[in-house]
């Protein structure tokens, strides 16, 4: 519609490879999740060209979750933000 042709993918991470191969021109994905998925596919150097909106996300854990698990999750989240 309107001059665009949608290309469907079963898994979002497939779009990272499609972008590199020139099969698609744009990949709309959440950040940092999109960068993480791309990294898992060996794709780096992606740039945000358009931001649709922003949403605050929260991670809730059971109050009995061990402190070391919380610390590992927090470190992983901080690492994703830096990438």
Per-residue model confidence as pLDDT tens for the chain (83 residues) = 567 888 888 888 899 999 999 999 989 888 778 888 899 999 988 888 888 777 777 889 999 999 999 999 999 988 878 76
Whether the model clears a pTM of 0.75, i.e. scores above it, the answer is: no
**Res 1: pLDDT:** 56
**Res 4: pLDDT:** 80
Q: List the chain domain ranges.
A: 14-82
**Res 22: pLDDT:** 92
Give yes or no for a contact between 29 and 12, defined as CB atoms under 8 angstroms apart: yes
Instruction: Tell me how many degrees the CA angle 33-56-54 measures, rounded to the nearest 5.
Output: 75
């Amino acid at each position: 519609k309107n001059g665009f042709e949608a290309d469907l993918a079963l898994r979002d991470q497939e779009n990272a490879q499609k972008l590199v191969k020139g099969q698609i021109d744009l990949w709309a994905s959440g950040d940092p999740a999109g960068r993480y998925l791309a990294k898992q596919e060996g794709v780096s150097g992606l740039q945000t060209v358009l931001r649709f909106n922003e949403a605050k996300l929260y991670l809730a854990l059971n109050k009995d979750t061990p402190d070391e698990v919380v610390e590992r999750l927090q470190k992983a989240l901080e690492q994703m933000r830096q990438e």
